[in-house]
Amino acid sequence: MKLSVIIPVYNEAKTILEIIRRVKGIPYEKEIIVVDDCSNDGTADLLRENRAGMTALFHEKNQGKGAAIRTAVPHVTSEITIIQDADLEYHPSEYPRLIAPIVDGVADVVYGSRFQGGTHRVLYFWHSVGNRMITTLSNMLTDLNLSDMETGYKVFNSEVLKKIKIESNRFGFEPEITAKVAKMGCRVYEVPISYWGRDYSEGKKIDWKDGVAALYWIIKFNIFR
Ligand SMILES: Nc1nc2c(ncn2[C@@H]2O[C@H](COP(=O)(O)OP(=O)(O)OP(=O)(O)O)[C@@H](O)[C@H]2O)c(=O)[nH]1
Ligand SMILES: [Mg+2]
């Protein structure tokens, strides 16, 4: 089965070429769709100079991860779509495990969970508490028993993904897609993944405000629709 790998990227000049190299190295037929979201750190130039073997799309102003995925989806031509963050926190060597439930015909959507025993860097305690609260609230409203709603590794049967209208521009994407997948009655699987977390000195951007925003998105997409 062929894979489409969507890479939304904003200001990841240090890692973008390495993540593309890793994706190209996986032994599957695939297409790579990179969406640069008006980076101002040289990421866009790196993509323009190295665009062989991929579709590179460029936003003229910064809009967010959700908007970048919305731009990419119409370019998907294969059966399975993986969202791949452009930092090096999630490793493409996990693809076989991530796609297996879809290849086997039992799942429509697969989430890679950082909290099910895979190798992971030990980082911030309070982030993990926030993460659990966010996943719990989402689960209470979707009635899905996920362990990591906010994971970057989300894999879709492409037909299912194309049916979903993505409204959130920024990190509301994660709660929104989860709410919509639940409403559609998709067959959702979770698999353990490894996580090479980064700290703030290495470029980590997410902070407590994103956690509060996530609570807002969860309520908006599960209740006010
Ligand atoms: N298109 C787009 N992508 C973004 C934006 N902000 C972040 N991203 C990308 O979305 C992915 C996830 O963003 P991250 O900043 O790594 O978010 P995170 O993994 O939740 O948090 P940290 O890695 O801890 O900062 C990465 O590939 C980013 O490059 C944005 O404004 N637009
Ligand atoms: Mg990250």
- Residue by residue, DSSP assigns 75-144 as G--SSEEEE--SSSSS-GGGHHHHHHHHHTTS-SEEEEETTSS--B----HHHHHHHHHHHHHHHHHH--
* Ligand nearest to the CA of residue 200, numbered in listed order: 1
Distance from the CA of 204 to the center of ligand 2, in angstroms? 7
pLDDT at res. 202: 86
136/219 Cα distance (integer angstroms): 12
pLDDT tens digits in sequence order for the chain, 225 residues long:
899 999 999 999 999 999 999 999 999 999 999 999 999 999 999 999 999 999 999 999 999 999 999 999 999 999 999 999 999 999 999 999 999 999 999 999 999 999 998 999 999 999 999 999 999 999 999 999 999 999 999 999 999 999 999 999 988 999 999 999 999 999 999 999 999 999 988 888 888 899 999 999 999 999 987
Closest ligand 1 atom to 11 CA = 29
CA of 5 to the centre of ligand 2 (A): 16
Q: What is the pLDDT of residue 203?
A: 82
Distance CA 83, CA 152 (A): 7
- 14, 19, 87, 206 from 203: Cα distances, Å: 10, 15, 9, 9
The predicted pLDDT at position 224 comes to 83
Tell me which residues have their CB closer than 6 angstroms to ligand 1: 8-10, 12, 35, 37, 62, 64-65, 68, 85-87, 89, 152, 198, 204-206
Residue 65 Cα to ligand 1 middle (Å):
7
What pTM did the predictor assign? Answer: 0.95
Ligand 1, atom 20: closest residue by C-alpha? 206
Query: Residue 30 belongs to what H/E stretch?
Result: strand 30-36
**4 three-state secondary structure:** strand
Distance from the alpha carbon of residue 104 to the mean position of ligand 1, in angstroms = 30
The atom of ligand 1 lying closest to the CA of 7 is 27
CATH architecture, domain defined by 3-223? Alpha-Beta Complex (3.90)
